[in-house]
């Protein structure tokens, strides 16, 4: 493990700008891909690809690709006679074979390849098809298949998220079917290295060229398949794990940045140790984790081999986090991409919590919160997957999504939160497949015993955030709080949350948590014969909020317990309680024997009590300035 001082040296002084740059670049990459192309085809769920053998030949000095791909698939429907793939019309299909027999096919303007099979398949039948193709992939500014240079040396790299895989290879462009197992063979000129998914099996020379064989025995989504070819320098770090094995972290870096990279990538050992502890051992430990430097100003979480612009601490933490959240479990719809990006953003924050709790963790929370609340509306749920700004919204998908997780951790507690995340990652049918928000919510509810429908309705589907108004008063041996809120967007009428407020009492900071579920709710805490010096709202920033106010109510200007002044009738009361004199009384708090409270408003001394349960209550009478006028007992009987 790298020394702690080495890890801290990798924290950039302006780390929040690093993340914003990452998000902007991910938006740029996706922009043309989304706007120029559709999404998955209606044929995506007709077949299940169980194995692929992918042969590619590339020379980084030439913008060109030649490929031969064999698909082994099962039919998921009865009477299957066609096999469908997505491929840009810029690439030419030379031939398609089924067991050496040529097949007829169409390649239409909507980038759909329809292959007519020589036989009819029933549900569960296994078959294979081999496609030979070549050409110059289209240029989209950033991704999907890019030729560039570094230090005057040529490089080719790919980046397919979300809709770009078909720009350079025929595939099922969807979030429906992962390739269960694959072998990748990349043919290159001599003296080059080819980075890809899985474990490097061999590099062999044949006919004056190199063949790089990568083997991947885990399911993988098509947009996470990748290659990069240049004159890389390579080295590895090894992380010991509890069973006595080690996890290889393989690094393919530009020779000109080798010395700096060797030092910077040591941080990955600390980051992976933390993620292993919190979320279970790295999900592809039998193969490797890797980095490949590439020419894009950002990073991409290609499965087992993240492509990196550099090796800043932020970028390492973010892309590695995706190996759990995004790669092992991939969002089942781009509407739920927060399951990828919100988690990766929050896990980056948790590395600061672990390794820089006093400095960078508070900065991370401030940065994420300020971004998420910089506009009054917007949901974490993506309601328009044709819009790049919605899918890759730094404010909503990344930062509000991350804060959603932070608040869930606050509500459920650490033990329940991390156990639920591990349950989600390990759920059969979801692990190494596609996941959903509802699955995560279900595990959080099971582990914590708390219903979360209201939370997700407000914070995930709803828009905006609350602004809290805290009023407090020290009365004899008690600390009294009145807690109100306004909402930044009308889609949410009220954010029910456990709200922490701290008080400095005789020089010691103490936190009080209030279960806030009604407007202007009153809370009372016994503190004894002490002095309250000051009050602070949510000092650890557990709740996403903005522009909160705190004010002290001075009650000494009014006699607090002037009970002889007020008459309550009838007592017991049934439907209406009368208070005399009632002109000054505008706020009435009913507190029953269990401490439950109801806040009512009086009109000319009349209070509707028909909805209150029968029982004994203590009434706190206040005026418009929240000054306590009196405290009276009353019985409600229906």
Same domain? For 244 and 173 the reply is yes
d(CA 531, CA 547): 27
The pLDDT of residue 167 is 95
pLDDT tops 80 at residue 564: no
Same domain? For 303 and 201 the reply is yes
Output the domain CATH number for residue 214.
2.60.40.1730
Q: Are residues 150 and 254 in contact, defined by beta-carbon separation less than 8 angstroms?
A: yes
CA quadruple 512, 515, 521, 523: dihedral, nearest 10: -30
Query: 182-193 burial by CB neighbour count: b if 16+ within 10 A, else e?
Result: bbbbbbbbeebb
> What mean pLDDT is predicted for residues 124-145?
89
The pLDDT of residue 60 is 98
Residue 497: inside a domain:
yes
Q: How confident is the model at residue 20 (pLDDT cuts 50, 70, 90)?
A: low
Residue 262: inside a domain:
yes
Residue 185: inside a domain:
yes
pLDDT tops 80 at residue 548: yes
Secondary structure element (H or E) that encloses residue 560, with its range: none
The domain boundary, picked from 519, 552, 585, lies at 552
Output the domain CATH number for residue 411.
1.10.390.10
d(CA 469, CA 467): 7
Render pLDDT for 596-606 as a digit per residue (tens, 0 to 9).
778 887 777 88
Same domain? For 38 and 140 the reply is yes
Same domain? For 157 and 68 the reply is yes
pLDDT tops 60 at residue 88: yes
Same domain? For 489 and 416 the reply is no
Lowest mean pLDDT among 212-226, 513-527, 617-631: 617-631
Q: How big is the CA angle at 602 (ends 601 and 606), to the nearest 5 degrees? A: 140
Residue 48: inside a domain:
yes
d(CA 76, CA 84): 13
d(CA 559, CA 555): 8
Report the DSSP pairing between strands 576-580 and 615-622.
Answer: unpaired
The domain boundary, picked from 298, 321, 344, lies at 321
d(CA 392, CA 31): 9
Block residue for tokens 């992939």: 137
Output the domain CATH number for residue 590.
2.60.40
Render pLDDT for 186-211 as a digit per residue (tens, 0 to 9).
999 999 999 999 999 999 999 999 99
Render pLDDT for 278-311 as a digit per residue (tens, 0 to 9).
999 999 999 999 999 999 888 999 999 999 999 9
For residue 356, give every residue at least 6 positions away whose Cβ sits within 8 Å of its Cβ, in sequence order, or none.
8, 11
For residue 298, give every residue at least 6 positions away whose Cβ sits within 8 Å of its Cβ, in sequence order, or none.
21, 22, 25, 26, 29, 309, 315
DSSP, residue by residue, 376-408: S---SS-S-TT-HHHHT-IIIIIIIHHHHHHHH
Report the DSSP pairing between strands 433-435 and 466-475.
Answer: unpaired
> What mean pLDDT is predicted for residues 117-136?
97
If one counts the domains in the chain, the total is: 4
Same domain? For 209 and 314 the reply is yes
Same domain? For 338 and 387 the reply is yes
Same domain? For 216 and 308 the reply is yes
Same domain? For 543 and 567 the reply is no
The pLDDT of residue 587 is 84
The pLDDT of residue 31 is 46
d(CA 406, CA 400): 10
Same domain? For 444 and 409 the reply is yes
Residue 110: inside a domain:
no
> What mean pLDDT is predicted for residues 250-256?
98
Position with higher pLDDT, 636 vs 463:
463
Block residue for tokens 């990279």: 261
Supply the mean pLDDT for the chain.
90
Same domain? For 420 and 511 the reply is no
Q: Are residues 98 and 128 in contact, defined by beta-carbon separation less than 8 angstroms?
A: yes
Query: Tokens standing for 457?
Result: 């309705």
Same domain? For 181 and 240 the reply is yes
> What mean pLDDT is predicted for residues 215-238?
98
Q: Are residues 391 and 29 in contact, defined by beta-carbon separation less than 8 angstroms?
A: no
Output the domain CATH number for residue 538.
2.60.40.1910
- Can you give the residue range of the structural domain that contains 396? 334-461
The 227-230 sheet, strands edge to edge: 145-150, 153-158, 227-230, 193-196
* pTM, full prediction: 0.84
DSSP 573: B
Cβ atoms within 10 Å of 535's Cβ, excluding its own: 20
Position with higher pLDDT, 586 vs 139:
586
Residue 154: inside a domain:
yes
Residue 164: inside a domain:
yes
Residue 98: inside a domain:
no
pLDDT tops 90 at residue 627: no
The pLDDT of residue 387 is 80
Report the DSSP pairing between strands 91-98 and 126-135.
Answer: antiparallel
The domain boundary, picked from 435, 461, 487, lies at 461
């Amino acid at each position: 493990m790298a020394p702690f001082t080495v890890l801290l040296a990798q924290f950039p002084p302006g780390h929040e700008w690093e993340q914003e740059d990452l998000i902007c670049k991910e938006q740029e990459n996706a922009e043309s891909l989304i706007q120029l192309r559709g999404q998955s085809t209606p044929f995506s769920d007709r077949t299940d690809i169980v194995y692929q053998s992918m042969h590619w030949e590339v020379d980084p000095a030439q913008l060109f690709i030649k490929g031969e791909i064999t698909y082994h698939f099962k039919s998921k429907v009865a009477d299957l006679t066609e096999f469908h793939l997505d491929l840009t019309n810029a690439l030419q299909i030379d031939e398609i074979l089924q067991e050496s027999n040529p097949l007829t096919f169409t390649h239409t303007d909507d980038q759909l390849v329809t292959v007519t099979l020589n036989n009819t398949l029933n549900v569960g039948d296994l078959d294979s098809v081999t496609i030979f193709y070549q050409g110059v992939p289209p240029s989209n500014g950033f991704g999907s298949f890019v030729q560039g240079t570094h230090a005057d040396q040529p490089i080719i790299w790919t980046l397919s998220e979300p809709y770009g895989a078909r720009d350079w290879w025929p595939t099922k462009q969807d979030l429906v079917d992962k390739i269960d197992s694959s072998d990748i063979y990349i043919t290159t000129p001599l003296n080059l290295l080819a980075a890809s998914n899985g474990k490097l099996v061999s590099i062999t020379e044949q006919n004056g060229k190199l063949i790089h064989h990568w083997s991947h025995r885990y399911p993988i989504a098509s947009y996470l398949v990748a290659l990069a070819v240049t004159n890389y320098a390579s080295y590895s770090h090894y992380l010991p794990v509890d069973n006595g094995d080690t996890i290889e972290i393989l690094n393919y870096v530009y020779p000109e940045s080798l010395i700096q990279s060797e030092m910077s990538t040591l941080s990955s050992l600390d980051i992976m140790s933390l993620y292993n502890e919190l979320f279970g051992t790295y999900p592809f430990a039998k193969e490797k984790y890797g980095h490949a430097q590439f020419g894009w100003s950002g990073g991409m979480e290609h499965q087992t081999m993240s492509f990196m612009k550099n090796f800043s601490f932020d970028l390492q933490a973010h892309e590695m986090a995706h190996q759990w959240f995004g790669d092992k479990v991939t969002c089942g719809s781009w509407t739920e991409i927060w399951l990828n990006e919100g988690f990766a953003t929050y896990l980056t924050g948790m590395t600061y919590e672990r390794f820089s709790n006093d400095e960078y963790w508070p900065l991370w929370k401030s940065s994420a919160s300020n971004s998420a609340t910089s506009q009054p509306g917007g949901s974490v749920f993506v309601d328009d997957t044709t819009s790049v700004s919605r899918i890759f919204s730094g404010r909503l998908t990344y930062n509000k999504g991350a804060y959603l997780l932070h608040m869930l951790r606050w509500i459920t507690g650490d033990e329940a939160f991390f156990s639920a995340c591990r349950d989600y990652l390990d759920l059969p049918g979801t692990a190494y497949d596609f996941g959903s928000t509802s699955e995560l919510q279900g595990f959080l509810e099971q582990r914590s015993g708390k219903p979360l429908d209201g939370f997700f309705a407000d914070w995930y589907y709803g828009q905006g955030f609350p602004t809290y108004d805290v009023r407090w008063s020290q009365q004899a041996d008690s600390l009294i709080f009145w807690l109100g809120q306004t909402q930044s967007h009308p889609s949410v009428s009220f954010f029910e949350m456990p709200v922490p407020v701290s008080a400095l009492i005789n020089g010691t900071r103490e936190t009080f948590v209030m279960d806030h579920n009604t407007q202007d709710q009153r809370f009372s805490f016994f503190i004894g014969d002490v002095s309250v010096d000051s009050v602070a709202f949510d000092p650890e920033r557990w709740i996403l909020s903005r522009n909160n106010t705190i004010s002290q109510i001075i009650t000494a200007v009014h006699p607090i317990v002037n009970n002889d002044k007020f008459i309550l009738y009838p007592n017991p009361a049934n439907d209406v309680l009368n208070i005399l004199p009632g002109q000054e009384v505008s706020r009435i708090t009913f507190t029953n024997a269990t401490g439950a409270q109801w806040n009512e408003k009086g009109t000319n001394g009349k209070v509707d009590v028909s909805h209150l349960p029968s029982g004994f209550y203590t009434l706190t009478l206040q005026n418009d300035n929240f000054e306590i006028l009196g405290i009276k007992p009353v019985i409600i009987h229906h």
